[in-house]
Structure 1
Amino acid sequence: MEKHLHIIVPRIPHPVDNSNHYDVYQMIAALHKNGVKIHLHCYNSSHDDIQNIVRQLCESIDFYHSENSPKIFSKPLPYIVEHKKNELLIEKLVLDDHPILIFGIACSYVATSPRLQQRKKFVRLYHIEFQTYKTRCFYSYNPFRRIYYWNESRLLHAYEKALIANIDGYAATCKRDMRMYHKEFDCTSVRFIPPFYSRVAEAPEGVGAYSLYFGDLSDVMHEKTVLTLLKEVYKFIHIPLVIAASNPSQKVLDAVAKHPHVHLVINPDEASLQDILSKAHIILLPSRYETGIQPGLLQALYNGRHCLANSKVVMNTGLESICHIADSPEAFRQRISQLYHQPFTKQEGLDRKVLLDNLYPNKTAAMLMDWIWGHSFEI
């Protein structure tokens, strides 16, 4: 019997310009390869945004607009959820009885509809959202943003807890988030299903040409991370740095212009980013977030040389032994200066491969399919 699956995503997952999009795209490709008929539902996209490669993987693709500027503080729902309420999407989903896979809490409003109460519904977790917004509140300097992030964190905590009654299962990208859902919400329906990943190449040996930071700078926390690197690290060391960034602000452009040894690559496509990764000697992975597999971490470990992260990125992920760790600007300066003259060895690459293959086995599609279509597996 044919297997059909509705997948709801914030936007078309191609071109792949951040790690969440990579997981969506690789999941769709893997499910398609295994014979699943995919019905893709996207917000904030249009027919013009679709690459032919995505069309070929899906049985159907539908588009929806986000709610136009709902008042942030006047709704009982979190803004990110209220923003993606769409009755047309619900009308589309009730036409059949296929299971529904929702990418992220922001797209999960459909799961609360009484008309879909009897449907099998699953959520792919990338972060513990209330905790992510709590972190943004703590680090934000803008008073209005702090109030918004605090309120959103409060509403998200209540919403995520209530949502559990409407969801058949959650798929966390790391065991750290799985344990958090158990502890915070007493949720027993959350499972660890590793990020989908297609290795492009082995981690290259030898010496690369520069240090590298890459990521989507539309996230205020990622922007703050880049500005901190420039102000507190690369102001004092003159090792080349490449910043491969999606959506950099004028603030980032101005900061980069002050450092002649820093080069900015704006909105690189997938092939360009892969080439940039392969030529880097040190990949920088600092973050203030403590949930989810951080953007770019697996991509860097699979395809790059030395990876330098802070404790929050790798804590309780099982990846501590294959990353270099620094937790202050001074420590970053010291480790970058040391690693830049330290070749990446064949043995380091082999050790990394063994650990990654053990933690993220090449059977993720089978795990997901068994879970959605009624079979069980061990965590």
Structure 2
Amino acid sequence: MEKRINIVSFNVPYPPNYGGIIDVYYKLKALHLMGVRTILHCFEYERPPAPELEALCEKVYYYKRKTGILKNLSLLPYNVCGRKDPQLLENLLKNNYPILFEALHTCYYIDHPALKDRMKIYRESNIEHDYYRHLAKATPEIIRKTFLYIEAWKYKRYEKVLTHADHMLVVSTADTDYLQKQYPEVTVEYMPSFHANDHIRIQPGQSDFILYHGKLSVVENEQAALFLIKNVFNKLKHTCIIAGMDPSKRIIEAAAHYPHIQIEANPSQERMEYLITHAQVQLLITFQDTGLKLKLLNSLFAGRHTIVNSLMLTGTGLDSLCVIADSPEEMIRACNEQMALPMTAELISSREKILNTTYSNQKQAERLYALI
């Protein structure tokens, strides 16, 4: 029996090079391989339409995300208000297939009376009010900080719209626990993020550099990069590379004092793949325990030794695959220790068994297929 689904994406999911967009793209790819025919609805925001998506979808619709100061005057979260488009509702009503709403940003129509009898699935990527509150705490600019605190309050208020979902698919066990308690009338399931890794790509042996990577324009990642430069990397003798999209002036200036700390801005996918697979150590930290950090999954599937702080692991079940270090002193000691340890075939095999059990794209796609 042929299966079809509508997927509403908060942005154009190609190229799959950051956060939740990675989850959307590789979900599309996995469903396509299972023969599911997807009608994709995506909002354009700083990314053009992508012809590459047509190979994975039966139909692709594009909508302009609306921005501007007037969107802040609504009680709706800014990122929800800007994704209100009557054409989206009209296109959803052209069929009666299940609708998967990617992130709370896309849920403007989830409670619309015209969709009352449709199967509606919410794909969680963060507990948004927690996420925005953490961003606000990390942001130094007062206007931006105020906006983020207001957005956190709006998301806390708006989250109740999820009572109109039939199912929630959640990226971490911690978030699953929260949503099950908040919405006992909705079916809430843990379903880890889809990702770029179909198999283990870890290189045996060792190299001479340490890597931190992420979308560096995001406040959370900027905060982590600055912390590492000022408290960890500056005290190491090894080459330390910070790589990612749009590093801020603050990151570049902080690293400029240390010849062994290198910033790689906007590396190509090929270059990022090289860095991840050839780094001897990937040091990944976060200051907020929301969602699932996809860069952690990529590091474990493709990289050698991974050092993280405890918050990076919240709700992942990946503790046994990482070295945990929470203070600068622990991170420095762990880096020096792991730089001296070659990656062996035995270590690669044990990591593969765990990752293929819980984080297989195919297994998650089979669960989603059964649901729709």
Could you say whether these structures have the same fold, taking a TM-score greater than 0.5 normalized by the shorter chain as the test?
Answer: yes
**Which residue of 2 is the match for residue 177 of structure 1?**
175
Match of 1:168 among 166, 169, 181: 166
Q: Is 1:303 aligned with 2:302?
A: yes
Aligned partner of residue 216 in structure 1, secondary structure: coil
CA deviation profile, 1:151-205 (whole Å, cap 9, x unmatched): 2222211211x21222111111122211111234445421112222333543222
* Pairing 1:89-104 to 2, within 5 Å after superposition: 89-104=88-103
Deviates more, 1:296-305 or 1:348-357: 348-357
Deviates more, 1:73-82 or 1:224-233: 73-82
Deviates more, 1:80-89 or 1:186-195: 186-195
Deviation at 1:242, TM superposition (A): 1.7
**Which residue of 1 is the match for residue 313 of structure 2?**
314
Deviation at 1:253, TM superposition (A): 2.5
TM-score by length of 2: 0.93
Q: Distance in 2 between matches of 1:200 and 1:271?
A: 17
Q: Distance in 1 between matches of 2:322 and 2:92?
A: 43
* Pairing 1:249-264 to 2, within 5 Å after superposition: 249-264=248-263
- Contact 2:138/2:219 (8 A) holds in 1: no
AA at the equivalent of 1:365: A
**Which residue of 1 is the match for residue 24 of structure 2?**
24
**Which residue of 2 is the match for residue 78 of structure 1?**
77
Aligned partner of residue 205 in structure 1, secondary structure: coil
**Which residue of 1 is the match for residue 201 of structure 2?**
202
Change (3 A) 1:199 1:251: same
Q: CA RMSD in A?
A: 2.0
**Which residue of 2 is the match for residue 224 of structure 1?**
223
Aligned partner of residue 294 in structure 2, secondary structure: coil
| Alignment gaps of 5+ in structure 1 | 374-379
Deviates more, 1:64-73 or 1:290-299: 64-73
Q: Give the share of equivalent positions with the same residue, in percent.
A: 28
CA deviation profile, 1:25-66 (whole Å, cap 9, x unmatched): 1111111111111111111259954143x2211111111111
Q: Distance in 2 between matches of 1:200 and 1:350?
A: 12
- Contact 2:49/2:62 (8 A) holds in 1: no
Q: Distance in 1 between matches of 2:351 and 2:206?
A: 17
- Contact 1:133/1:149 (8 A) holds in 2: yes
Q: Distance in 2 between matches of 1:320 and 1:267?
A: 30
Change (3 A) 1:332 1:189: same
**Which residue of 1 is the match for residue 118 of structure 2?**
119
Aligned partner of residue 242 in structure 1, secondary structure: strand
AA at the equivalent of 2:41: H
AA at the equivalent of 1:3: K
**Which residue of 1 is the match for residue 357 of structure 2?**
358
Aligned partner of residue 62 in structure 1, secondary structure: strand
| Alignment gaps of 5+ in structure 2 | none
**Which residue of 1 is the match for residue 279 of structure 2?**
280
- Contact 2:293/2:312 (8 A) holds in 1: yes
AA at the equivalent of 2:102: F
Change (3 A) 1:229 1:291: same
Q: Distance in 1 between matches of 2:149 and 2:71?
A: 12
CA deviation profile, 1:83-121 (whole Å, cap 9, x unmatched): 222222112211221211111111111213222222211
Q: Is 1:246 aligned with 2:251?
A: no
Aligned partner of residue 282 in structure 2, secondary structure: strand
Change (3 A) 1:63 1:187: same
- Contact 1:290/1:313 (8 A) holds in 2: yes
- Contact 1:8/1:102 (8 A) holds in 2: yes
Aligned partner of residue 363 in structure 1, secondary structure: helix
Change (3 A) 1:43 1:316: closer
Q: Distance in 2 between matches of 1:151 and 1:218?
A: 21
Deviates more, 1:183-192 or 1:279-288: 183-192
Q: Distance in 2 between matches of 1:132 and 1:343?
A: 37
AA at the equivalent of 2:250: K
AA at the equivalent of 2:96: D
